[in-house]
Amino acid sequence: MHYNPFKKGPFVMYLVALTIGPTFFTTSIYICLARIIVVFGEPLSRFKLRTYTIAFITSDVISLIPQVISGAIASGAGTRHKKQTSIDIVVAGLAFQFVSLVLCMLLCADFARAVAKVPRS
């Protein structure tokens, strides 16, 4: 890429890594939420610990699949229509991931509120 910054192969690899990478960061956020719930007490959370983990990891996998498919389509896209289809698919995957992350943030805030209400001894 140093000698020819406009080569398609390295650009597609960069694009795929850029879109898929945040999925693994959000997974670590979901795992941290589960560990925090263990520390402060599962009875304070709205759902069981296992429910949080399964739901959010599943949502990450669901959001990752369209992003991978989009990368595959983009790498072989020769027409403008295929390129646009690839963009639409990746946007759908990222939107689903965003909604999942916002839901996790709301549940984190709810858990923090429940922890704050517990009287300290």
Residue 1 has pLDDT above 60, yes or no: no
Domain ranges, ordered by start, for the chain: 8-117
User: Angle at Cα 26 formed by Cα 21 and Cα 30, nearest 5°?
Assistant: 150
Number of Cβ within a 10 Å radius of residue 27: 16
| Residue range 93-100: mean pLDDT, rounded | 93
Rounded (10°) CA dihedral 60, 62, 67, 68 = 100
pLDDT in tens, 56-82: 999 999 999 998 888 788 777 778 888
Say if CB 83 and CB 74 are below 8 A apart: yes
Count the residues in the chain. 121
pLDDT in tens, 2-31: 677 777 777 777 777 787 788 888 989 999
Task: Please tell me the pTM assigned to this model.
Answer: 0.81
Say if CB 111 and CB 37 are below 8 A apart: yes
